[in-house]
Structure 1
Amino acid sequence: MGRCAIQLVTGPAGSGKSTYCQTMQEHGLTLGRNRRRFHVVNLDPAEHFKYDVAFDIRDLISVDDVMEELQLGPNGGLVYCMEYLLENMDWLQENLDNFDDDEYLILDCPGQIELYTHIPVMNKIIDQLKLWGYLDKMVSVFVVDATFVTEPAKFISGSLLALSAMISLQLPHVNVLSKCDLVEEASMERVLEMESALQLWDVLGDGEGSALSMFHELRPKKSARSEEEDKLVRKRQERERKWNRLTVAICSLLDDYSMVGFIPLNINDEDSISHVMLTTDHAIQYGEDNEVRGMDFDDGDGFGADE
């Protein structure tokens, strides 16, 4: 049996990963002759979702059970669950082996950033998947809330998280801006059209906190301030200068890599959803070698006949 295509959906908690999975699953059934069935897998032991699940990690272990039995908090319970999965990868392998090589799985992964940074749990899971033959069949999708674009500092932070995940997971990588239907389109496009992170900070940054102002001396303006007030002003300006230097360094890091870009996703726009789907397909050349075949549906959903 061949290996199915796998999409790992990651991103901060609350960024809309489960909604993304549900949207892709529903969209696949509306593509006429090209309709597809996305099998969505829940790998978040604390997740509550609305999509049709192919298999669920909570059948193996759940955060609620761990918290109750081991008296751990939510984050500690989640880490324990993922480490437990790592020790019982045969469960995951048995479930994956049920899918043919022309099928497509979307893995809804946990949102705790610790799992992708200083705790190497997800890296080890991906390494095992590679050993099973999925090396050229996996793509990582990092989901960031589009409301981040309303504030340059948040958007730069989200970009840095996306870069960190891309480097850590070492997979073909696609960054998606979710919840675009909640953000003014003109404001979002203005940010996405910026040529660099430094330009973004210079143009939309917080006045004195912009990158260009860092290269000029910040001197207190002459006024009738008291000596004590002057000291406070100088301290504030010095603090801003230090934070500004850090921001410029982060922006320069993003510009140096030149590998962080985002695809907007509006779940109310079919063209937007299709664009995201085609981009992830292209990342792993999904479907290029597959034979065209009809899809059989057992649930009586009426998709078996052409309209």
Structure 2
Amino acid sequence: MASKYGTIIMGPAGAGKTTFCSALIAHLRANRRSCFYINLDPAAEEFVYEPDVDIKDLISLSDVMEELHLGPNGGLIYCFEFLLENLDFLTDPLETVTDEYMVIIDMPGQIELYTHVPVVPALVRHLGRSGMGMSLCAAYLLESTFIGDRAKFFAGTLSAMSAMLMLEIPHINILSKMDLVKGQVARKELKRFVDPDISLLQDGPESGLVYEYKEGVDNGEDDPADSKAVMSGQSFARLNRAVGQLIDDFSLVSFLKLDVQDEDSVGAVLSYIDDAIQFHEAQEPREPNDEMMDGD
């Protein structure tokens, strides 16, 4: 069995990762569980709970951008490469963490780190079973408001699948900020997004995602060099169908619903994380007298 347990909170910018980390920490503390909070976003500035380890104590994005004249994405990649060269900054504090703790790792929002470059997979391998022996689960957040734009939703779903394949660890996907769509989407319709249904791309022709080819008529095959035709017509529709079909063929992505203002919702997501990392299997059974003492 693993000696340490943790979850990596990922997802695009604005998905609510740090807010979810704060809600998770509050829920764990309310249930008398220990947690160890790591911030690996070198641009983050405000926290509800002070991190136990903060990458900004090692390197900050603003310093990198100023000194090396890099942009935000290049700066983030440099920060993680620097972290990989100084892993003792991260691993030394983790040496004292026992199997009773839930390690929560808050990540940046640039999805290139999970889908395009090998720095985060390398970090996960070092912390995981082949390195420090930590049992890890990735939690990928996608903002629920994406369901209002089906092309954007399927693009986000594809990025979640890409991160899952790159990291090669247990993975759960979460539709965050459900309070923002409450009452706006019928429950039956929402189920089609929770388990992404490719037929969603066949609905609502007014959205421009549906293209029907007809024989003997002008099918609007615009010049691909025309910038106005990029986001409309056959090419865009075919692209979205191809993305949807790829997701459907792999059948790997489904979502949990999250409302951080609802404690039961946070607890439900945590239970999936616990199952993925087999947290409870490593815990010692507690005697009734111990529980009574905890309640005193």
- TM-score scaled by length of structure 2: 0.86
Aligned partner of residue 140 in structure 2, secondary structure: strand
In 2, Cα distance between equivalents of 1:122 and 1:232: 40
Q: Partner residue of 1:264? A: 257
Q: 1:81 to 1:274 in 2, by over 3 A?
A: same
CA drift of 1:11 comes to: 0.6
The separation in 2 between residues aligned to 1:117 and 1:238, in whole angstroms, is 24
SS at match of 1:187: coil
Number of residue-to-residue matches in the alignment? 283
Deviation, structure 1 residue 128: 1.4
For residues 119 and 25 of structure 1, the distance between their equivalents in structure 2, rounded to whole angstroms, comes to 30
Partner of residue 10, structure 2:
10
What is the percentage of aligned positions where both structures have the same residue?
38
Tell whether the 8 Å contact from 2:196 to 2:253 is kept in structure 1 after alignment.
no
Which residues in structure 2 correspond to 1:87-236 (within 5 Å)?
87-130=85-128, 131-134=130-133, 137-185=135-183, 187=185, 189-194=187-192, 196-204=196-204, 206=206, 209-210=209-210, 213-214=211-212, 216-217=214-215, 219-220=217-218
Taking the aligned partners of 1:281 and 1:208, their CA distance within structure 2 comes to 41
The Cα shift of 1:132 comes to 2.2
- For residues 7-86 of structure 1, the aligned pairs below 5 Å read 7-31=7-31, 35-48=32-45, 49-86=47-84
- Structure 2 unaligned blocks of 5 or more: 288-292
Mapped to 1, the partners of 2:214 and 2:256 lie a distance apart of: 36
Does the aligned pair in 2 maintain the 1:149–1:191 contact within 8 Å?
Answer: no
Deviations 1:210-259 (A, max 9, x none): 2xx435448359xxxxxxxx9979x9699612221221111111111111
Higher mean alpha-carbon deviation, 259-268 vs 191-200, is at 191-200
SS of 2:279's partner is coil
Q: Residues 191-215 of structure 1: CA distance to partner in whole angstroms, max 9, x if unpaired? A: 44226532111134645532xx435
- Per the normalisation by structure 1, the TM-score is 0.83
Do the aligned partners of 1:62 and 1:81 also contact (CA within 8 Å) in 2? yes
